[in-house]
Amino acid sequence: MARRPEDLWERLVTAALRRERGGTDGVYSRPATTGIARNVPSSLGNSRVIDEILRAADEIQLEDPNVSRILCEHGYSLAQDLDPDSEGRGVLQFKTGLMSVIKQKLAKREGGSIDRSQDIARLQEFYKRYREKHGVDKLREEEIKLRESGVFRELERKTKKRKKVFATLKVLGDVLEQMMKEVSPEDADRLMSEELKQVMESDAAMTEGLIAYNIIPMDAPAIANAIVSFAEVRAAMSALRYFRDLPADFQVPATRDPDMLDFLHYVFGFQKDNVSNQREHVVHLLANEQSRLRIPEEVEPRLDEAAVQKVFAKSLDNYVKWCNYLILQPVWSNLESVSKEKKVLFISLYFLIWGEAANVRFLPECLCYIFHHMARELDEILRQQIAKPADSCKTQTGVSFLERVIAPLYDVIAAEAANNNNGRAPHSAWRNYDDFNEYFWSLNCFELSWPWRSTGSPFFLKPSPKSKKLLKSSGGKRQGKTSFVEHRTFLHLYHSFHRLWIFLLMMFQGLTIIAFSQQHYSSETIKEVLSLGPTFVMMKFFQSVLDILMVYGAYNTTRHVARYRIFLRFLWFAAASLVITFLYVKSLLGDSALYKVYIFVIGIYAGVQFLLSFVLRIPCCQRLTDQCDNWSFIRLIKWTRQERYYVGRGMYERTSDFIKYTFFWLLILACKFSFAYFLLIKPLVDPTRIIVKMNNLTYSWHDLVSRHNHNALTIASLWAPVLCIYLLDIYIFYTVISAIWGFLLGARDRLGEIRSLDALQQLFGQFPMAFMEKLHIQIPTRVPDHPFNQVAETSEDDAAQFSPFWNEIVSSLREEDYITDLEMDLLLMPKNCGNLPLVQWPLFLLASKIFLAKDIAAESRDSQDELWERISRDEYMNYAVVECYYSIKLILTAVLEEDGRKWVERVYEDIQTIITKKSIHVDFQLNKLSLVIQKVTALMGVL
């Protein structure tokens, strides 16, 4: 009974082995595995190597069980070395299962005990036999011949076989090499011949083809991938070549020549996989851009300068804008003097930085800062014409961009994120991505110097941890928020929409003054209207006070110009409020001189503000001022209007859109103010005058608020609802006018014309043509005057282009559960890329059309032409009949053998002859069509 659990475990493993060996994988997959190989725990650091060893053991199990046992034992020893105490997740179960597999292999041995001292010899002998069996020396030659002949399907099969063989040889060679290290050097030389060593070294070089790739096999010697033969791809790959010698200690795969990314890899210490990924990325970008220009036809294709320039401009567009914003000279002094090779080098450097930046890639301007300095280092190294590691990336153990450049930034970002209390900490208590990125929007970022001055800069200081994290705080005062701190207050209702509040209240004041004048305009009325001046400056003063309050918590870290602007606006509007209010009060008291001064000041201020608003709001003027942004005077004028930020610059609408938008809001405001004046304000003028003139009224409230104040509280209670309606009714007018405006636009664009399923069926035939004309590239052969056959062919091409678009819409509707599976099947449209000489429509258009046509044919006593005319009155019935006619022929010819196909063709020839003679009523019994449909339906069900 004690052995029962072990026996059950071995039976389970045996069943798993038997079941898994019976399966097959996909085209590029390796053979079926035991289940142990597929379940190597990820907690083992070298799990990928162990998995490859166990897969190879499964593959050669039937050829040589002893060698399979050796590989399994080696895999077990690797797992034991990596985790001797089996503390990792799933390691104990894995070891137990692998040991059971090894015991099972030992149980199947023939003879007595195993002499493990002969394992090396067994491996060497099997290595030779395996090479001879699979013809390793001929595999490469066959691949080259197939590639030259262009037979890519056979080449793909051969390449798959080669990859499988060399993957197994690689595992055998690695295991043999590890076992040779366990014996003495003298025994190692005696056990392995020089000839076998050379063969294994040659095979190891061939295993470079097993290197993973995404789309373009850059590091593989011979891969069955037609993309490497494209002229534009070969041109892009040749553009990356590096013609200078790299140091001997830097390994480059023997399957390709050194290129620019190898040079950058050596200089800055980028990670190997990042270099491989970005090599493919850059090649794709260059090849795609070259294909848009032209396909190179030279024997040795070369990239056009225009293709490189377009990729360069797109890739480094943000860097150029960053330099222009900071008024900083880019790495190049004159772009026209930069060679094509150097542009490709800069592109490669930028994408290598981006690919290895981890979370720092969420700081795009920080990447610009890093690229700026690394490109300068690269320039210096190129001038010296000696490939050497960059000083900014040197470490104690070598060169590492990740360790020296990215890790310090990542650590402080992680520390700030760990300090946010899972998002519940106040906004001012921790820095987010925006705060880190906005630090690089000013020249102050260059205080970080290069390489990073991470020890003395407040930017790199970590916060004091508020939770039990491993991150420790650095000493000193850390960098706080950059420019914006969120304060949760109702004052945001005014601060965020202060322009709207100021405009509405000033218009209310002006309309009220005009209403009380009762159309008797005089100099006193004008003087009352001019009271808008003090109202405006006092409301702007209140807004400047809120500016100061809202930036509280970021004074020390906000850019100097931003702080200066806030406090200068506060001082300006404080002084303006005092001066303008003083001048207006004096003018009311009858001082004509000060009244003239007041008018002059108000006129100058309003004129300048209106001119600046008008100029800076017109899109063409905005673009002009952006082009002159390097001028200090232009920057000063724009700075007085709005704080200068990096993001959002240059985002302007077209002039025509701006005019339409302005007209739309002028219409809304005209309706609103007309309603407010005639229906809200003017009707209250006379009641207000009457209430003001009432004396000796007795109120129930305290005498303090009821005597000698002209009934102010009564008037306030009368006007308060009107003021609230005045402030809120703009949403009503916006909703109503938007609905009317949207209706007019929809009527112009003919939206909503398809209101029923019948309308959809009638107009669906126009969808492909409309799609090709509005949303797709025009077909060059599409001209209005085509022969009949060419029109039909073009319609089929349109349907073939339209069907993926339509099917994607239908699939999205199914994914969102708006339609059922049955409805999706009815709505999906065939691809229209087969051999049928007509357009294939969705089933919902053709449903029941065959049965209706059958009934018409069975009941008809007319001639063939009249019968066909009745059927053709319904366009989709016509399509359904013709599609069934040709589809049945294609299905039968595809299913039947040679004799059956000849029979089907003969039948269809007879039918076509009868149709030509127009004797279908004479030669066919059309009342038997229902029986034919039943038989065909049964046949389709069987198939």
- Per-residue pLDDT, 423: 66
Phi, psi dihedral angles at 552 (to 5 degrees): -60, 130
737 vs 87, higher pLDDT: 737
End-to-end Cα, the chain, rounded Å? 55
- Mean pLDDT along residues 719-725: 91
pLDDT at residue 459 above 80? no
Rounded Cα distance, 140 and 159, in Å? 9
Residue with tokens 């009941």: 859
pTM: 0.63
Residue 561 confidence (pLDDT): 64
With a cut of 60, say whether residue 791 has pLDDT above it. no
Q: In whole angstroms, what is the distance from residue 87 CA to residue 99 CA?
A: 17
Check residues 793 and 770 and name the one with the higher pLDDT: 770
Give, in order, the Cα–Cα distances in Å from 238 to each of 257, 287, 906: 10, 11, 58
> Beta-carbon neighbour count of residue 666 at 10 Å?
10
Mean per-residue pLDDT for 150-167?
A: 69
**What distance lies between CA 857 and its chain's CA centroid?**
56
Q: Is the pLDDT of residue 80 over 90?
A: no
**Mean pLDDT, residues 518-538 taken together:** 83
Please identify which residue in the block is written with the tokens 């399923």.
757
Give the rounded percent of residues in the chain with a pLDDT score beyond 70: 74
Residue 586 pLDDT class (50, 70, 90 cuts): confident
State residue 374's pLDDT score.
92
Q: How far is C-alpha 435 from the geometric centre of its chain's CA atoms? A: 23
Nearest in space to 435 (alpha carbons), one of 564, 318, 562, 557 = 557
The encoded tokens of residue 538 equal 């006092």
> Could you give the dihedral angle defined by the CA atoms of residues 69, 75, 81 and 86, in that order, rounded to the nearest 10 degrees?
-100
Cβ atoms of residues 869 and 918 within 8 Å: no
Q: Is 87 exposed, middle or buried (0-12, 13-18, 19+ CB in 10 A)?
A: exposed
Q: Quick check: 510 and 529 in contact, CB under 8 A?
A: yes
Q: Which residue intervals of 828-862 are DSSP H helices? A: 843-846, 849-859
DSSP secondary-structure letter at 222?
S
pLDDT tens for each residue of 93-103: 777 777 777 77
Mean pLDDT of 29-50: 59
Better-predicted residue by pLDDT, 332 or 636:
332
**DSSP-based three-state secondary structure for 223:** coil
**20-24, 166-170, 275-279, 560-564: range with highest mean pLDDT:** 275-279
DSSP for 311-322, written as a single string: HHHHHTHHHHHH
Q: Name the residue among 441, 413, 439, 264 with its Cα closest to residue 353.
A: 264
Half-sphere exposure of 413 (CA within 13 A, CB side): 19
Q: Nearest Cα to 343, choosing from 369, 397, 392, 307?
A: 307
Instruction: Identify whether the C-beta of residue 86 lies closer than 8 Å to the C-beta of residue 92.
Output: yes
Lowest-confidence segment of 4-18, 341-355, 424-438, 544-558 by average pLDDT = 4-18
